[in-house]
Amino acid sequence: MVQVVNWQQDAIDDVIRDAVRGSGKVNIIVAGKTGVGKSTLINTVFRGRLAKTGSGTPVTQQIEEISKEGHPITIIDSKGLELKDYEVILSQLTDFVVERDEHHDENKHIHAAWICIQESGDRIEQAEIDLCRMLNDHKIPVVAVVTKSMFSKDSDFHHKVKEMLPGSCAVVRVRAEAQNIEIEEGSFYTLPIKGIDELISESARLIPEAKKRAFANALSSRHQSSMKIKIEQAEKEVLIASGLAAAAGATPIPFSDSFVLVPIQVGMLAKIGVTFGMEVSTSALTTLVASALGSSAASLLGRAVVTGMLKMIPGVGSAVGGTIAATTAATLTKGLGAAYISILTDFCNNNPGKDLDISLIGEELKRRLSFK
């Protein structure tokens, strides 16, 4: 097998590093009284069980940052809103928001906030009203999350929340974990998780475009709205890569010199992997590329990649010579991206909430494209 020359390997390494850097970080404030179910909510929405007792890094006595290695989201957990001296907590949180807003690194900015209010409490505190107002003043979009909801038709508490927190972009009722209700002695009825898809959709609408890949990565694959967001974001990556491939093919590329397509396609695969929830690290993405296209990044061969994908194009697959024109280069790249999205979607649907099995997914891609 022909070895990729140094500049080609450098290009491959660069696009993998770019996929890591380009995913960025998304930061969400989750605020509410003790016991409203913030940790359960966080662990239900996001992958990797982010919120564990004592897992946060203290910023102040009442503010913690919850993050995880290889995970592109940070949760800013604001506690103690039920305390009488909540003004101190609100002041600390205001200072924190201002500091982050003025930070030169956009990965430190706050991109959205959830204010969690328990439905059974049937009360909206002044602290929650003041917090929403402060976040509005700093142009941070807010979702008011009515937690532990029983979804009773005769409950109008969520309407009260919208009235008292007019600055919220949405009010969403959620039940973040299944609840067993005893209907008679020894007989139970299970109320399922509910409202999470709406919360994810509303939050995704508010997240800046540049942070949507990071947000998609962070979401647990067990929710329909999460999968919709992951697929839509991945399809955007395919369109971008196809455009780059078409530009590269504007000057016809001889099959034997088709290495120029490989960095484009490698970058696309890496970004799709990040979107679907792969650990955000150079080593993880290199493993992905190696699993999908060869025993190591250094053994990637343009001719092998192209030969495998040419079979997907009627009338072109039998070609043994000639050149790759712009339309063919774009079609090859789009076909590779579509195949990879399909494989990842099937894996997530069959293994909801589970970590991606990189080697298994890579082998399936090779099988589908008949790479030799």
> Do 163 and 183 meet the contact criterion of CB atoms below 8 Å apart?
no
| Tokens found for residue 23 | 């995913």
pLDDT in tens, 30-57: 999 888 999 999 999 999 888 874 456 7
Burial class (CB in 10 A: 0-12, 13-18, 19+), 193: middle
Q: How far apart are CA 103 and CA 220, in angstroms?
A: 29
25-211 fold: Rossmann fold (3.40.50)
CA quadruple 255, 261, 262, 267: dihedral, nearest 10? -170
Global confidence as pTM: 0.85
Cα dihedral sign for 230, 231, 236, 237?
positive
pLDDT in tens, 301-323: 344 444 445 545 555 544 444 45
Between residues 346 and 248, the one the model is more confident about = 346
Average pLDDT, the chain: 82
> Do 167 and 135 meet the contact criterion of CB atoms below 8 Å apart?
yes
Q: How far apart are CA 42 and CA 48, in angstroms?
A: 10
Domains of the chain by residue range: 25-211, 227-369
Cα 161 off chain centre by: 28
Helices (H), the chain: 6-23, 38-45, 86-101, 126-137, 157-164, 196-206, 212-218, 224-249, 261-275, 282-293, 302-310, 326-350, 358-369
What is the pLDDT, as a whole number, of residue 17?
81
